Structure 1
Amino acid sequence: MLYLQDIVIVRPAKTEDEYGNERDDWGDAATRIHVAGVNVQPQGGSTEDTDDRQVTVTGWRLFTPRGMDLDLRETDRIEAWGTTMQVAGKVARWPAPGGGVHHVEADLQEVA
């Protein structure tokens, strides 16, 4: 019953700016990968920064069910429930006994 959520992995396209530097393009050229059957839960609460502007950072944790690998990179974003979250750090692929991936975990951050 835990793995009933759907997400979209958003992977940026690579483009060059006017100086020839590579940059991420999160617009229409970005790759969108629909994934069903994962679990995203709150983690660590929220923090606020009011020094320069009002910013709230909320932590989330993504889990896949046993046996499900996920094409998720630390440079990707996740869309779910009308919000966008950034992958925070490395994606953990836990090994299964006998080989393969047991499950995947990733920390996410929503900045609003």
Structure 2
Amino acid sequence: MSVLYEQSAIFVRPAKTTDRYSNEQDDWGEAATRTPVDRLNLQPGGGSNEDTDDKQVTVTGWLLLSEPGTMPDLRETDRVEYDGLVLEVTGKVGRWPVPAGVRHIEAQLKEVA
């Protein structure tokens, strides 16, 4: 394993529930699927910004890279738990193909604190 990919995280996929009006909703509670994933590199990236209109909120961008040769199952609707933080996937997950198959994934994440 490369020194760059020694981090671990938990990918959280919401369960689907239906409210009393038959609207489908994400359930991030106990019914959510939690998958531990190793061989990752997570780092702050994309800067941060502050919203001070209504309350003090800082949004920090993160970058997730999987080790070359790995292809963890991460979707744009998932969340990532890392180092006590809950990060949301923003946009599509990049899958980088090579002639022999998919080489690795990249995803932009955001932390709202």
| Structure 1 residues 44-89: Cα deviation after superposition (integer angstroms, max 9, x where no partner) | 2211001011111000000011110010000000001001000000
Residue 37 of structure 1 deviates from its aligned partner by 1.2
Per the alignment, residue 6 of structure 1 pairs with 8
Per the alignment, residue 51 of structure 1 pairs with 53
- The whole-number CA distance in structure 1 between the counterparts of 2:90 and 2:108 is 5
| Structure 1: unaligned runs, 5 residues or longer | none
Partner of residue 33 from structure 1, selected from 26, 32, 35? 35
RMSD: 0.7
- The whole-number CA distance in structure 1 between the counterparts of 2:37 and 2:46 is 24
- The whole-number CA distance in structure 2 between the counterparts of 1:99 and 1:38 is 21
Give the paired residue count: 111
Question: Which of 5-14 and 39-48 deviates more?
Answer: 39-48
- The whole-number CA distance in structure 1 between the counterparts of 2:33 and 2:103 is 26
- The whole-number CA distance in structure 2 between the counterparts of 1:43 and 1:52 is 25
Q: How does 1:1-112 map to 2 (within 5 A)?
A: 1-96=3-98, 98-112=99-113
The runs of at least 4 aligned residues of structure 1 exceeding 6 Å deviation read none
Q: Normalization by structure 2: what TM-score?
A: 0.95
